[in-house]
Amino acid sequence: GQQLNQSPQSMFIQEGEDVSMNCTSSSIFNTWLWYKQEPGEGPVLLIALYKAGELTSNGRLTAQFGITRKDSFLNISASIPSDVGIYFCAGPELSGSARQLTFGSGTQLTVLP
Amino acid sequence: GAGVSQSPRYKVAKRGQDVALRCDPISGHVSLFWYQQALGQGPEFLTYFQNEAQLDKSGLPSDRFFAERPEGSVSTLKIQRTQQEDSAVYLCASSPAPEAEQYFGPGTRLTVT
């Protein structure tokens, strides 16, 4: 199946700083998804991207769908303590009649006060 | 409204025991997915149901893994003769339609000793 390479693996930042993380694939995706997972919880969808070159914002979060359709990045501006968690990129593979998701290995974000 | 719920939240099993993990999807969601998340990794697809039909089980790692959704609502993931490598968080997700956003439950953390 397809693989998603996510970087960096972990980040330690000061509260108020901006954060950037990215995801690359060896295959083309038609949709890119960014999820956040907090301890003891399942992933929660943050942003969905459907078109190459698309730039989408959700509050302090901004994500872009790369022109080649093989990469995406997520930016978080003015980080706050509640941004702590693991951020995953994901792409759907059409399987049968549903979209099974392929996930990256995640970026662990720690925000220091 | 109620989200996806999973039980138990934690399960410790001795190697060789059988376990059953339950998922209660969001009411009315036709699609149900199971994912396995190893420590430090992103979730990996196991199997997919549309109503009561299991349309894709390509991600099940061995024939010791079995999933069912007999009435198109609650689903059970069963693992027979558990092995240490089965230790992981098992996530369930549901969606209102096959290609719609997936909503994840909190997961069941399985530890095989």
The dihedral through the CA atoms of B27, B29, B32, B36 has a sign that is negative
Which pLDDT band holds residue A97 (cuts at 50, 70, 90)?
low
Q: Is A31 on the interface with B (CB under 8 A)?
A: no
DSSP class of residue A105 equals -
Residue A11 has pLDDT above 80, yes or no: yes
Tokens of A2: 């397809």
> What does DSSP assign to residue B96?
S
With beta carbons less than 8 A apart as the criterion, state whether B92 and B33 touch: yes
**Does B99 contact chain A (CB < 8 Å)?**
yes
Say which residues have a Cβ less than 8 Å from residue A45's Cβ, sequence separation at least 6. Answer: A33, A34, A35, B101, B102
Q: Which residues of B touch A85 (CB under 8 A)?
A: none
CB-nearest to B48 from A45, A95, A104 is: A95
Whether residue A1 has pLDDT greater than 70: no
pLDDT at A99: 79
- pLDDT for the residue B22: 98
Q: Is B107 left (phi over 0), alpha (psi -120 to 50) or beta?
A: left
